[in-house]
């Protein structure tokens, strides 16, 4: 870890900034994708599915933020988010085609 | 950040808490005050305190007077909102919007005569309540900023919990004699951990209160973005009825209100009239929610043209919708009577204190060595700390003072109270910039204490019905309110004395390396 005696390098600053952007954008993005997907996919009545999916998304978002900051490297965190988004996004595309 | 989970969470806690801390403090303080929103409004309209409550049998006639007023003054509006007389506000509260962007119409009527009521113009507790989630900004901006800060707060809470190795022991740890950093750290832990269930609950439920505003994507995919259809299908509101396009006169509302009152045992709170003048006119009567945790008020819809009862909604919710209603109910705490309300209020005070001590802790942990000049970042944080932690209470006190001292006939009086609030806040945030930092803390705290005392003095001096002027007779509300102000004054006077007497931060303590934040000290020790 950096100490105060050594100035914080640009690389470190960029890494932190990257995580902040990834956590905020990725956290909300994945939460939004999951809300959209589960609203269609949950085996419940329509208003119930939307309500449950939306509630769950508010728990998912802080969990993703914590995960992004806990990951060993920024790249690993970005890969994890991209993978999750890809899975959720394809499932959503399928669900939207299935239930027009 | 280097693969060690706990330090990375400590880092996250420190910085996420810092960047939104000042807004969070404001949200916490105004939200805590909003538990007593009705009482604050009542206190700010002392003329009404003596007024007799309106009997239920009077309500149908009162509603007809409201509609008669609106038919002459608000024909261009799209929707009328008629707040029915309540125990704490025995007046008709009319509100209408003409078109987006235009200022809404708002007037208070005497329910017995239908004429405009003689009462001072004020926003009352509603100003603090709306500030809590809109920050007096355009609703879209205000709500997104508050929601963003609330999500960061959730992150700060989760990462804060993770950094604690001995969360239970923290309940009982307060080292007041030690270095100020220790005391502030312990105060931060005690206020944070002791009321932790409240903090988690209130933050999560706060986000849920604006669910579909923040997370509309489920509604987008399942309802093609039609939020009202979702609300209606979930059972929260009556089915929306579009205008038919054929003119039709509004049937008398009195019989509808009488029928609604006979159907529902709860108190009638509000009427909403849409599409009046059209054959598709709808009148929805909204009742106080039944006793219980969930926020499930009953709605009754009437056909405006024929007066026929269309549907009754509320109470019969399915599990997920009921969960949302219960979460919102927990947030607004309408179910809480005197004791529980006080507990919620005190938890809110602890939340405010948790945010405030966290902010101060950040700056204490980064004090420069005696010979070094403080960095710009530290000075900025110090200025914002004092400007919010002392500035906001000063502004609220000035808001109350303005309510008592501004001339009653002043045009836009309610707006002037709000201007006084912001003017006081700006001044209170600027003064400390010109003073040495520690002196500024004690001076500003004394200022807040003085302003709170001034509120009490102004209350006693201007309100003739004040119990202290009538040898104990009269409305106890004034005594409670003034008592709370005195308690606040005592708190800030105590803080001022503490800061003034303190010898200054001890420099002997070895500096911790700064990336590791203060809350992690023990976790990593």
Question: For residue B519, what is the enclosing H or E element?
Answer: none
Exposed, middle or buried, A54 (CB in 10 Å: 0-12/13-18/19+)? Answer: buried
Residue B478 pLDDT exceeds 80: yes
> pLDDT over 70 for what percent of chain B?
92
Question: Which chain B residues are Cβ-neighbours of A53 within 8 angstroms?
Answer: 218
pLDDT for B376-409, tens place per residue? Answer: 888 889 999 999 999 999 999 999 999 999 998 8
Name every residue whose Cβ is closer than 8 Å to that of residue A27 and which is 6 or more positions away in sequence. Answer: A60, A61, A62, A64, A65, A68, B151
What does the pLDDT average to over B303-314? 91
As given in the structure block, the two tokens for residue B104 are: 């809404």
pLDDT for B95-140, tens place per residue? Answer: 998 877 777 888 999 999 999 888 888 999 999 999 999 999 988 9
Please, what is the average pLDDT of chain A? 87
Exposed, middle or buried, B97 (CB in 10 Å: 0-12/13-18/19+)? Answer: middle
Residue B334 pLDDT exceeds 50: yes
For residue A48, report the phi and psi dihedrals to the nearest 5 degrees.
-65, -40
Query: Distance (Å, rounded) from C-alpha B346 to C-alpha B419?
Result: 29
DSSP string for residues in B208-232: HHTHHHH-THHHHHHHTT-HHHHHH
Question: Which of B218, B235, B514 is nearest residue A54 as measured by Cβ atoms?
Answer: B218
Query: Distance (Å, rounded) from C-alpha B265 to C-alpha B267?
Result: 7
Q: Does A100 contact chain B (CB < 8 Å)?
A: no
What pLDDT is attached to residue B173? 67
Q: Does A67 contact chain B (CB < 8 Å)?
A: no
**Worst-scoring range by mean pLDDT, A77-86, B107-116, B321-330, B493-502?**
B493-502
Residue B510 pLDDT exceeds 60: no
What pLDDT is attached to residue B504? 56
pLDDT for B192-204, tens place per residue? Answer: 888 899 999 999 9
Question: Which chain B residues are Cβ-neighbours of A2 within 8 angstroms?
Answer: 513, 515
**Worst-scoring range by mean pLDDT, A45-59, B172-186, B332-346?**
B172-186
The H-assigned helical ranges of B413-436 are 413-430
Q: Using an 8 Å Cβ cutoff, are A88 and A33 in contact?
A: yes
Question: Which chain A residues are Cβ-neighbours of B159 within 8 angstroms?
Answer: 66, 69
Q: HEC profile for B379-412? A: HHHHHHHHHHHCHHHHHHHHHHHHHHHCCCCCCC
Spatial CA neighbour of B30 closest among B194, B151, B149: B149
Q: Does B234 contact chain A (CB < 8 Å)?
A: yes
Q: In Å, how far from its chain's centre is CA B85?
A: 22
Shortest alpha-carbon distance between residue B222 and chain A (Å) = 6
What does the pLDDT average to over B171-191? 76
What pLDDT is attached to residue B178? 61
CB B219 to CB A50 under 8 A? yes
Strands ordered across the beta sheet of B79-83: B105-109, B92-97, B79-83, B268-274, B282-287, B299-303, B309-313
pLDDT for B423-475, tens place per residue? Answer: 999 999 998 888 888 889 999 999 999 999 999 999 999 988 888 887 777 78
Question: Distance from first CA to last CA of chain B, Å, rounded?
Answer: 18
What pLDDT is attached to residue B1? 42
As given in the structure block, the two tokens for residue B11 are: 């880092």
pLDDT for B70-85, tens place per residue? Answer: 999 888 888 999 999 9
As given in the structure block, the two tokens for residue B12 are: 């996250």
What pLDDT is attached to residue B47? 86
What does the pLDDT average to over B498-517? 54
Helix (H, G, I), strand (E, B) or coil at B292: coil
Question: Which residue on chain B is closest to A39 by alpha carbon?
Answer: B218
What does the pLDDT average to over B340-359? 94
Better pLDDT: B117 or B512: B117
As given in the structure block, the two tokens for residue B95 are: 């509100």
Residue A82: count other Cβ atoms within 10 Å of its Cβ: 12
For residue A71, report the phi and psi dihedrals to the nearest 5 degrees.
-65, 150
Interface test with B, best of A27, A47, A60, A93 (most B CBs within 10 A): A47
What pLDDT is attached to residue A100? 53
As given in the structure block, the two tokens for residue B119 are: 């009462």
Spatial CA neighbour of B43 closest among B455, B481, B337: B481
Region for A2 from its dihedrals, namely left if φ exceeds 0, alpha if ψ lies in -120 to 50, beta otherwise: beta
Residue A66 pLDDT exceeds 50: yes
Exposed, middle or buried, A1 (CB in 10 Å: 0-12/13-18/19+)? Answer: exposed
What pLDDT is attached to residue B177? 64
What pLDDT is attached to residue B169? 67
Better pLDDT: B180 or B486: B486
Please, what is the average pLDDT of chain B? 87
Helix (H, G, I), strand (E, B) or coil at B300: strand
What pLDDT is attached to residue B394? 97
**Worst-scoring range by mean pLDDT, A1-5, B248-252, B306-310?**
A1-5
Q: What is this structure's pTM? A: 0.88
Interface test with A, best of B2, B209, B320 (most A CBs within 10 A): B320
CB B320 to CB A57 under 8 A? no
What pLDDT is attached to residue B414? 92
The one-character DSSP state at B276 is T
């Amino acid at each position: 870890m950096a100490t105060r005696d050594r100035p914080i390098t640009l690389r470190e600053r960029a890494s932190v900034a990257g995580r902040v952007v990834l956590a905020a954008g990725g956290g909300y993005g994945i939460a939004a994708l999951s809300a959209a997907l589960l609203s269609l996919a949950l085996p419940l009545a329509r208003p119930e599915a939307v309500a449950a999916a939306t509630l769950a998304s508010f728990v998912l978002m802080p969990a993703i933020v914590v995960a992004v900051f806990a990951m060993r490297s920024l790249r690993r965190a970005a890969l994890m988010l991209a993978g999750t988004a890809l899975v959720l996004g394809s499932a959503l595309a399928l669900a939207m085609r299935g239930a027009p | 950040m280097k693969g060690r989970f706990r330090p990375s969470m400590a880092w996250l806690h420190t910085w996420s808490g810092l960047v939104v801390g000042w807004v969070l403090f404001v949200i916490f303080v105004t939200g805590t005050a909003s538990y007593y929103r009705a009482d604050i409004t009542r206190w700010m309209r002392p003329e009404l305190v003596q007024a007799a409550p309106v009997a239920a049998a009077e309500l149908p006639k009162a509603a007809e007077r409201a509609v008669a007023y609106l038919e002459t003054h608000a024909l261009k509006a799209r929707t009328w909102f008629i707040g029915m007389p309540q125990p704490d506000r025995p007046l008709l509260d009319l509100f209408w919007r003409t078109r987006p962007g235009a200022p809404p119409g708002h007037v208070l009527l005497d329910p017995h005569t239908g004429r405009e009521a003689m009462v001072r113009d004020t926003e009352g507790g509603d100003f603090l309540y709306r500030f809590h989630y809109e920050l007096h900004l355009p609703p879209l901006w205000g709500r997104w900023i508050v929601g963003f800060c609330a999500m960061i707060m959730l992150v700060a809470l989760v990462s804060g919990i993770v950094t604690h190795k001995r969360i239970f022991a923290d309940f009982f740890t307060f080292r007041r004699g030690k270095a100020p950093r220790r005391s502030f750290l312990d105060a931060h832990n005690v206020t944070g951990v002791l009321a932790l269930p409240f903090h988690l609950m209130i933050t999560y439920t706060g986000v849920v209160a604006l669910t579909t505003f923040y997370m509309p994507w489920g509604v987008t995919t399942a309802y093609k973005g039609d939020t009202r259809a979702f609300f209606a299908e979930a059972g929260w509101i009556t089915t929306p009825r579009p205008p038919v396009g054929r003119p039709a006169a509004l049937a008398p509302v009195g019989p509808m209100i009488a029928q609604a009152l006979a159907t529902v045992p709860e108190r009638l709170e509000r009427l909403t009239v849409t599409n009046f003048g059209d054959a598709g006119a709808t009148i929805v009567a909204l009742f106080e929610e039944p006793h219980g945790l969930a926020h499930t008020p009953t709605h009754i819809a009437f056909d405006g043209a024929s007066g026929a009862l269309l549907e009754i909604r509320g109470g019969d919710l399915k599990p997920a919708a009921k969960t949302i209603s219960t979460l919102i109910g927990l947030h607004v705490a309408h179910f809480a009577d005197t004791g529980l309300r006080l507990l919620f209020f005190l938890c809110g005070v602890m939340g405010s204190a948790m945010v405030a001590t966290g902010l101060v802790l950040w700056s204490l942990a980064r004090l420069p060595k005696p010979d070094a000049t403080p960095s710009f970042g530290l000075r900025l944080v110090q200025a914002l700390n004092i400007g919010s932690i002392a500035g906001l209470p000063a502004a609220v006190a000035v808001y109350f003072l303005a309510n008592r001292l501004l001339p009653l006939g002043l045009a836009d009086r309610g707006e002037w109270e709000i201007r006084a609030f912001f003017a006081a806040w700006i001044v209170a945030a600027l003064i400390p910039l010109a003073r040495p930092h520690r002196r500024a803390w004690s001076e500003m705290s004394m200022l807040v204490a003085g302003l709170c005392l001034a509120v009490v003095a102004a209350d006693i001096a201007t309100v003739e019905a004040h119990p202290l002027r009538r040898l104990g007779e009269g409305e106890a509300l004034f005594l409670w309110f003034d008592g709370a102000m005195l308690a606040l004054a005592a708190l800030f006077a105590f803080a001022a004395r503490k800061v003034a007497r303190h010898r200054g931060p001890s420099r002997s303590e070895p500096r911790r390396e700064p990336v590791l934040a203060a809350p992690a000290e023990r976790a990593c020790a």
